[in-house]
Amino acid sequence: MSPPIRPVTVAALYKFARFPDPDALREPLAALCQAQGIKGTLLLAREGLNGTIAGSDESIAAVLDHLRTLPGCASLDVKFSHADAMPFYRMKVRVKPEIVTMGQPEIDPLTDAGHYIEPGEWNALISDPDVVLIDTRNDYEVAIGTFAGATNPQTTSFRDFPAWFRAERERLLSQGKAPRVAMFCTGGIRCEKSTAFLKSEGVEEVFHLRGGILKYLEQVPAEQSQWQGECFVFDERVSVGHGLAPGSYELCRACRRPLSADDRASPHYEEGASCPACHDTRDEAQRARYRERHRQELLAIKRGTAHLGAQSKEF
């Protein structure tokens, strides 16, 4: 049986490049996305661009053609997947200090990133018992899926990764010989920085999965996979599995954490207002605001319009 045809194309992309004036790039890009009916998020910084966008095949192609004209972006790599419905509420084009925040301005992923490993070669690398495998994502992402045997830093922000590594370095790498480290993340961008960071810390044999988990799930058959669980994605699909098929998780509208079926069965779960992860960290006044926001969102969906909060945050 052929897989179902999903009408919305989702493009996840990033490129480290030199943008002397990212502010000058924002308005033309935002105008093009608006004209093409694209939704999602694109971040621009002096170090390059990063984001995920969704729309029709033709609209996505038009935006990608434009992005590939930007300095250093001709070889822009894009990971495509598909969704049954638009996975974003709005389009945001933002200029930021970093396209992925690590807080280590001295490292340069353009020149110092680790060795790329293709998805088809990843299993062999991480099966080597002498390789230290590190998941560079945040704790709530790791909780729903990771590679077998990976170390979980249990960080709540990528900015916490350098301090975690420095604190755990001796435990992780004291094997009596030169360490070999393999790292992975959702689409590859965080590993561009994390591998450059480890090299700046004197670790020479550092590897990362080209295209990240998404490319692995796209290319490696489930029966050969060493991936366990689902992969969290930062849009309304919430998670994907092998073949980038939509996963089983939903999103808590209060704290934006992924929710399993067991989470949704918890007495602490209230749609739009709370879940087991955030129930005890929010008060009733906050939950009342979340309920009202969720009510407005449902009304907007019923009317086929964007709710006021979504409209006010576009571009």
Q: Is 242 inside a domain boundary?
A: no
DSSP 243: G
**Residues 148, 181 within the same domain:** yes
Residues in the chain: 315
3-state secondary structure of 126: helix
| Active site amino acids | 185
CATH number, domain with residue 65:
3.30.70.100
Residue 302 pLDDT: 78
CB 10 within 8 A of CB 235: yes
Q: Is 139 inside a domain boundary?
A: yes
Using alpha carbons, select from 227, 198, 203 the residue that is nearest to residue 215: 227
**Residues 76, 115 within the same domain:** no
State pTM to two decimals: 0.87
The predicted-structure confidence for 60-86, as pLDDT tens digits, reads as follows 999 999 999 999 999 998 999 889 899
CB 217 within 8 A of CB 224: no
Q: Is 119 inside a domain boundary?
A: yes
**Residues 114, 224 within the same domain:** yes
**Residues 223, 262 within the same domain:** no
Q: Is 238 inside a domain boundary?
A: no
Residue 263 pLDDT: 96
Is residue 310's pLDDT more than 50?
no
**Residues 138, 220 within the same domain:** yes
- Cα-Cα-Cα-Cα torsion 217, 223, 229, 234, nearest 10 degrees, comes to 10
Which residues, listed in sequence order, are joined to residue 240 by a DSSP beta bridge?
Answer: 231, 246
**Residues 210, 271 within the same domain:** no
The predicted-structure confidence for 15-25, as pLDDT tens digits, reads as follows 999 999 999 99
Q: In what order do the strands lie in the sheet with 115-117?
A: 115-117, 205-209, 180-184, 131-135
Q: Is 243 inside a domain boundary?
A: no
**Residues 219, 114 within the same domain:** yes
**Residues 67, 121 within the same domain:** no
Q: Is 100 inside a domain boundary?
A: no
**Residues 20, 81 within the same domain:** yes
Q: What is the mean pLDDT of the chain?
A: 92
Q: Is 306 inside a domain boundary?
A: yes
Q: Is 215 inside a domain boundary?
A: yes
**Residues 268, 221 within the same domain:** no
Residues 111 and 307: their CA atoms lie apart, in Å, by 44
- Number of independent structural domains in the chain: 3
Q: Which domain holds residue 258?
A: 251-310
**Residues 146, 212 within the same domain:** yes
CATH number, domain with residue 154:
3.40.250.10
3-state secondary structure of 210: coil
Residue 298 pLDDT: 84
191 Cβ partners below 8 Å, 6+ apart?
A: 113, 114, 136, 183, 184, 185, 208, 209, 212
**Residues 224, 114 within the same domain:** yes
